[in-house]
Chains A and B, each alone.
Chain A
């Protein structure tokens, strides 16, 4: 069965600190997709990134970077030089290509960036 675990319930950092959000997943499929979403206080889920299971190349986008490691079933998200606007709940999600199309979300990590 598919499962996503985000062990960190809440994280608080001071502005300009780096912070890493952990995500560990379980899947029965050989082809799957991993995602990160941001949910700011306004409530709308905002798509950040998708990773395909066959592409382990790490990615950097501005202050955001993602580390995908199949060997440990992890897909961690790092924010460099955090800003107050990064304060939100961040969700990791998994979708299996061959066992249905629904997305399974982790419980989320609430990030608070203090000025």
Chain B
């Protein structure tokens, strides 16, 4: 097991474009989280999946953000019509009920120009 994997590691996009990020959790981890982190801040919760069901979504998450986890395995996070304020590190993490600590991937750094 190689841990949580995220792709791409870096993404530069023009304002208004759509972007999609992928996260592969640790195998057999049924809980998956997306977080966003800006410079100098702690990670901010975006959304949470248990298996394929999206159980929690931050009120801060605008309608331009959507996440999926088909078949309860990998997950994708899509941002439509990107804005400069979306520039951040997007972190994915996974855990299980038995081991509630979340293990994080290396993140995808998004820069909107």
Residue of A nearest to B89 (CB): A43
A44: Cβ under 8 A from any B Cβ: yes
Categorize the interface residue count of chain B: 20 to 34
Chain B residues closer than 8 Å to A108, beta-carbon distance: 40-42
CB distance from B47 to the nearest CB of A (A): 8
> CA separation between A95 and B56, bound complex, in Å?
13
B interface residues with partner A (beta carbon < 8 Å): 31, 33, 35, 40-45, 48, 50, 55-56, 58, 89, 91, 93, 100-107
List the 3 shortest-distance A-B pairs measured between CB atoms, nearest first: A105-B42, A45-B104, A102-B45
> CA separation between A106 and B104, bound complex, in Å?
16
Contact: A100 with B42, CB < 8 Å?
no
Contact: B48 with A45, CB < 8 Å?
no
A interface residues with partner B (beta carbon < 8 Å): 4, 33, 35, 37, 42-47, 50, 91, 95, 97, 100-108
Chain B residues closer than 8 Å to A104, beta-carbon distance: 45
Q: Given that A43-B106, A45-B91, A102-B33 are known contacts, is A50 also in contact with B43, CB under 8 Å in the complex?
A: no
The 12 listed contacts between A and B (C-beta, < 8 Å) are A35-B101, A37-B104, A44-B104, A45-B91, A45-B104, A101-B56, A103-B33, A103-B43, A103-B45, A104-B45, A105-B42, A107-B42
